[in-house]
Structure 1
C-alpha cells in the first residue's frame, strides 16, 4: 500500500498482519488467449502492485473460495434484470471471470473486463465470452460508455485517493440511465477506535481485515459512507444489501459484505465523489 504503518484490526488482533512485497520488476502486457497475458511496466500505484502480488498468487484458489456467494450472485442478477440484452457492460477487477463476468455473458450482455492478475485474466479469457485485458484501475481507460459497470470487491487494496479517482472515472463511463454495481466489506464491524477513521468518519485505509486466513491491508468505507460516496456523484441508490458470507475455505472467517446498485440519472450532471481525498503539503 502506501508505506504507512498498518492499523491492527482489534477483532482479529491475535493474527499477524501480512505484508506484500513491492516488486520493482516490470512485466509485459498482452492478451494472447493461448498463453497467460502479461503486463507492461511497473504497476501504476503501490496499491495496484500489492493487488497484483496478492491475487496473481491466489488466482484459482480465490475463485474456489468466493465463487458460490449467493449474495454476490443475487446482486449481479438484479443488475442484469435492469439491463437490455446486448448492452455493453464492464467488469472492473474481473478476476477469473467467475461468477460476475460469466453471469453477464450468459445473460447476453457484451462483456469487457480487466484485472491486475495475468493468471486470472487468462482464466477469464478461456472460459467466458467477452473481451478481457490486464490492467489496473488507475491505468485502464474505458472505451465509450457502458450500460453497466461492476466494481465487486475490486478496490480493496487501493488508497482512498486512488479509489476516488477510479470510481469517478468509471461512473463517468456510464451512459445516462446506466447502473453501477459495487461490492465492499463495510468498515463498521472491523473498526473499533474512532481515531482509525478519516476525519469525516467515512473510511479507513491500510486497515488490517481478515482475508483468506490472513490479515490484508484494506480500504473500507462505512456502510453509510459508501452510499453517500455514490450519492455525492449524483447517482441514485436502487438497492443496498448487507449480508454475511462464509467463503468456502477452512482458513476463512465469515465476512460482512455490502452490495449496492446505483443508477446514473438521465438528466443530472455528475460531480466528483465526497469526501475529497486528503491533500499532501
Structure 2
C-alpha cells in the first residue's frame, strides 16, 4: 500500500477531507519504504513503461510517495517526470531521492476540471505520454475512483499508457491500522477493478497479480493487482 492520498470532485458532492490521511503519511515517513522493501510488481510495471515509451516522453507519477522506485527509475530512463502527492513529507522525500523529477504537493482534484493544475489552469502540468498510479487510488472512496480515472484519461495524450495497481479487496473507505496510524482505504475484486477501469475509457493490455507480505507487523498480507492499460480513443 502506498502513501498516496487523493480526493476527487464529482460535481455536487465535495471530496472527503483527507487531511488526516496526509498527516498519517507525513508521520510514517521513512518507515514506509522499510515496511515495503520489495516492490517487484511495481518495478515490473515501471519497466513496461520504460520499454514502451521513447526517450523524452512525459510521465506523471500520480501518488509518487517517496519517489522510489518509480520516479527515480523513470528519470534514469530519460523521461520527463512529474510527481504528485498530497503528503508534504512524502514530496520532500521524493525530491531528495529522485532529484531529476519535478514534484508537487497536490490533490488529484487539483488536476481535474477547474483545478489549478488542470489543462489551462494557472499551474497547468500539460499532457502526458504515460501515467503511473501505484496504490494511490485505493485511498479514495469508491464513489470517487471513476472520477479520478477520468482525470487520468483526460491528462493522457491519445494512445497514452496507464500503469495502475490496487490491493485486491472488497472494501469501500474502510479504516485500517497502518504502520502505527489509521488510514481509510478502498479496493475491488479483480474483475470489478477491470470493469471500472474499462468503463473510464481504458483498454487493459495486461493484468497481473502478486502476493505480498509487508514487513510491518500491523499490515496483513495483501494481493496486489497490476493493470497495464492504454487510453482508449
TM-score bin (small chain): 0.7 to 0.9
- Aligned match of 1:79: 49
Q: Is the 8 A contact 2:159 2:231 kept in 1?
A: yes
Structure 2 length normalisation: TM-score?
0.82
Structure 2: gaps spanning 5 or more residues: 1-13, 112-116, 119-124
Query: For 1:91-240, what aligned pairs fall within 5 Å after superposition?
Result: 91-128=61-98, 129-140=100-111, 141-142=117-118, 143-187=125-169, 191=170, 204-208=171-175, 211-212=178-179, 216-240=183-207
Q: Is the 8 A contact 1:183 1:258 kept in 2?
A: yes
Three-state SS of the structure 2 residue aligned to 1:175 is strand
Deviation at 1:120, TM superposition (A): 1.0
Cα distance between partner residues in 1 of 2:155 and 2:221: 34
Three-state SS of the structure 2 residue aligned to 1:253 is coil
Cα distance between partner residues in 1 of 2:182 and 2:24: 12
Cα distance between partner residues in 2 of 1:123 and 1:164: 29
Cα distance between partner residues in 2 of 1:208 and 1:51: 11
Q: Is the 8 A contact 2:146 2:196 kept in 1?
A: no
Structure 1: gaps spanning 5 or more residues: 1-43, 192-203, 269-281
Deviation at 1:214, TM superposition (A): 7.1
Q: Is the 8 A contact 1:67 1:99 kept in 2?
A: no
Question: Which structure: larger Rg?
Answer: 1
Deviation at 1:245, TM superposition (A): 1.1
Instruction: Name the structure where helix makes up a greater proportion of residues.
Output: 2
- Aligned match of 1:7: none
Q: Does 1:249 align with 2:216?
A: yes
Deviation at 1:210, TM superposition (A): 6.3
Deviation at 1:47, TM superposition (A): 5.0
Give a deviation string over 1:137-193, Cα, whole Å, max 9, x none.
112335221111011111222222322222211111111111111110111xxx4xx
Three-state SS of the structure 2 residue aligned to 1:46 is coil
Three-state SS of the structure 2 residue aligned to 1:79 is helix
